[in-house]
Structure 1
Amino acid sequence: MNKLFMILVLIGLPLSIIGSIFHWSAIIMFIIYCLTIIALAGFIGRATESLAIVLGPRAGGLLNATFGNAVELIISIFALKAGLIGIVLASLTGSVLGNLLLVGGLSFFVGGLKYKRQSFSVHDARHNAGMLIFAVIVAFVIPEVFTQSLNERDTMIVSVGIAVILIVLYLAALLFKFVTHRGVYHSDNEQNESKQEEEPEWGKGKAIVILALATAAVAYVSEHLVSTFDTVGAAFGWSELFIGIIIVAIVGNAAEHASAIVMAYKNKMDVAVEIAVGSTLQITMFVLPILVLLSLFFSTSMPLVFTWPELISMVTAVFLMITISNDGDSNWFEGLTLLAAYVIMGIGFYFI
């Protein structure tokens, strides 16, 4: 897989540059851009894993999720600049569904095929459950109800206020987890993982350089990827909702997808769960609010208003993940249940 990613980068980057200069077919360039971003995301994932080995499961999962989400943040900023508000909100909805149902489901399923029962920190699971309910239901659904009778200006003011609150609470959650209550809630599984000796694939300096170069390359390719959305959508009959929720979300979160599944296969479930759930919290409580605030500097502002299919899907995904993970262990059947829910929602969004 690593050799394949290397080949894709060596071929994909030059083709991305040449194709954008000579204006090749938008459909061909869409495929090239997507494959190149996925390959670059693989390098981002490997670099963050190398840096995270010495930091422990929680910090490692957070680091992996952060740089994995950096890909989607970059794509979203360029889409926001182009005025594609629907695609941005849909891609963030897709991240929530993809992380909780696809990444979480594949992690539980793949790990469960090798181990009959896998465990992770029940304290983290319950802490994350409360945060997920707040982020999706309190911060997204309730304002949707209140803003039905507001004009565009007041809706944007409410959205900015909610965005600031979400960012502050997310930073407070990091303070709680890594400073004030660091080491207070340790599972036996996490302690066993920390005792295992593991050599990083790359040294610290090399990992940082690769991380910086891969992120810069993703920024370049993402800007050109956004320009192909209209043509590709018209050619295949895809709506902005489907492009954002399925295509952009999968491409943007490729690094997390691969890393979480590998960690689950190695029975490092604390890391896998932290990547899947921690990435969801980062998207909903940090990336999305940042985009709302950034949109104030563009020609079209982005209010924190989702469609009802998006909201209902996110709420369903949150409650399903909480129900399955709240006991602190997993198996392949629970993973299959999450995957089935993702496929059902994907079919629904395709036909909207």
Structure 2
Amino acid sequence: MLNKIFAFVMAVGVPLSIIGTLMHWSSLILFVIYCLTIIALASFMGRATESLAIVAGPQIGGLLNATFGNAVELIISIFALKAGLVGVVLASLTGSVLGNLLLVAGFSFFIGGLKYKRQEFNVYDARHNSGLLMFAVVIAFLIPEVFSMELKKADTITLSTGISIILIFLYLAALFFKLVTHRGVYQHDKETEGHHEEEPEWGKGKAIAILFIATLIVAYISEHLVHTFEFVAKSFGWTELFIGVIIVAIVGNAAEHASAVLMAFKNKMDVAMEIAIGSTLQVAMFVAPVLVIASLFFDQHMPLVFSWPELIAMASSVLLMVVISNDGESNWFEGLTLIAAYFIMGIGFFLL
């Protein structure tokens, strides 16, 4: 039933998005149409991911979902950078980290925990990811802010570019470690229990094609979505920070939200965790650095410098996730705790 609703929204939303753009409808109406259409497209990306996870395993499936999901945010952010909205881009990166660690993981734990009293996931992956999260968010994001107090703007950009190159290199090394040199070394027992017995909804080729086509459509809609931000912000009295942290992050990560919760409901926690944590790592260690480097080709350069509220919120989210996930188990109350933390931070960013 839900899939039919999403299919209907997509079938109606895509042509309406094109017609509305060409006919210059109200920015508020277009904002709503764009957001609903992107979320509907995200549901198809989620179904494609599930099919790939069955065929290729949880790590590959989760990685592909995170990659295509973050491609949406990367596209939105590049158009925002082109428009000179550096503050919105930095805020959306913050929102992605908070959204994935607290909202996506939180709802996955909560919804899955309502059906299963105790859910397990790969504890070795959780501990490996904890170290990378601490490095990427607490160290790599904090250093530019600290040093920028003593550096000139040009030097801050140079520092940010250097850190970005290191982050991209380490992220690629982490993928090589998990998928090549140490693939299966720390495999969870549940992962070996015949995920091939389950029939995928779509074959590998069709699933990848759907992910690719959906991403292209989302890219088109995202370019126009960026142009509605200013009007919507003035209409509702929202700040640039709130739009970036909450609105752009939720819409841009709709694919991960839908997929991770669906996987948790089906007790596929390894996939759900790979989506939530893997997506966070990809945002912090690949998307953010790529945006810093991409900004060098625009009029306004983007340093990897976040505000103190953003840094504290991200560091707190990482620490909470590390504490909760390091035992390799989850339940609905832990999920509710993560969701509560997200709403507390959301209120703070709304009032800033």
Name the counterpart of 1:268.
268
Cα distance per residue 1:127-146 (max 9 Å; x no partner): 00000000001101122111
For the 8 Å contact 1:45–1:68, the answer to whether it is kept is no
In the TM superposition, residue 195 of structure 1 has moved relative to its aligned partner by 4.3
CA deviation after TM superposition for structure 1 residue 212, in Å:
2.4
Q: Does 1:301 align with 2:293?
A: no
1:220 and 2:220 matched: yes
- The Cα shift of 1:49 comes to 2.4
Show the 5 A alignment for 1:318-333: 318-333=318-333
Kindly provide the amino acid, as one letter, of the partner of residue 93 in structure 1: T
Deviation >3 Å, runs of 4+:
none
Give the counterpart letter for 1:243 in structure 2. I
- Corresponding residue SS for 1:168: helix
Amino acid at match of 2:49: T
Secondary structure (helix, strand or coil) at the match of 1:54 reads helix
**What are the equivalent positions in structure 2 for 1:134-153 lying under 5 Å apart?**
134-153=135-154
Q: State the TM-score, normalizing by the size of structure 1.
A: 0.98
Q: Where in structure 2 are the equivalents of 1:69-80 lying within 5 Å?
A: 69-80=70-81
Deviation at 1:168, TM superposition (A): 0.2
Greater shift, 25-34 or 205-214, is seen at: 205-214
Could you tell me the TM-score, scaled by structure 2's length?
Answer: 0.98
| Corresponding residue number in structure 1 for 2:47 | 46
In the TM superposition, residue 328 of structure 1 has moved relative to its aligned partner by 0.7
Structure 1 window deviating more from structure 2 (160-169 vs 265-274): it is 265-274
Between the aligned partners of 1:177 and 1:206, the Cα distance in structure 2 is 26
Which amino acid in the other structure matches residue 308 of structure 1?
A: W
- CA shift digits 1:208-264 (9 cap, x unpaired): 332222111111100110000000000100011100111111111111111111111
Distance 1:218 1:195 in 2: 30
Paired position in structure 2 for 1:281: 281
Q: Say whether residues 1:245 and 2:245 are aligned partners.
A: yes
**Which residue identity is paired with 2:253?**
N
Q: Does 1:5 align with 2:16?
A: no
Which one is further off, 56-65 or 196-205? Answer: 196-205
RMSD: 1.1
CA contact (8 A) 2:42 2:258 kept: no
1:342 alignment partner in structure 2? 342
CA deviation digits over 1:41-75, x for unaligned, max 9?
22222223223321111111111111111111111
User: Is the partner of 2:197 in helix, strand or coil?
Assistant: coil
Residue number in structure 1 paired with 2:202: 202
Post-superposition CA distance 1:251-305 (Å, at most 9, x none): 1111111111111111111111111001000000001101111111111111000
Partners of 2:53 and 2:59 within 8 A in 1: no
Report the secondary structure of 2:56's partner residue. Answer: coil
8 A Cα contact 1:49 1:60, kept in partner: yes
Percent same amino acid at aligned positions? 72
Cα deviation for residue 199 of structure 1 reads: 1.2
SS in 1 for 2:149: helix
